[in-house]
Amino acid sequence: MKSLICIAPDGEFVEEGSFQDVETAWDRSSDMGSRWWFYPIHVVAGGRSRSSRLAGIPEGMPDEWLGKSLGRLLDTIAADEQHACDYANGECPFEIFP
């Protein structure tokens, strides 16, 4: 099972649901509309724990994040909250590497 994880710029996250595959999780992400305004960064992970590995990342995020732990991404986002806000607002690419 894959989990759609919605992340806030401060590194907090919620699980939107569990899905059979990455594509189904992305379909759910695109159907949410503005419902997750406070959790604008979406990734797909192998579960909802911090040790889960990333199986899907949004376009524009460096491919080096694939296979890294969810916890590592959350900590990295929290450490550079302003960059995460700028990325979520479409002002810059996600230029933070693992």
31-52 tens-digit pLDDT: 887 777 889 999 999 999 999 9
Q: How many residues does the chain have?
A: 98
**pTM passes above 0.85:** yes
Residue with tokens 């916890």: 71
8-38 tens-digit pLDDT: 999 999 999 999 999 999 999 998 877 778 8
Q: What 3-state class would DSSP assign to 15?
A: strand
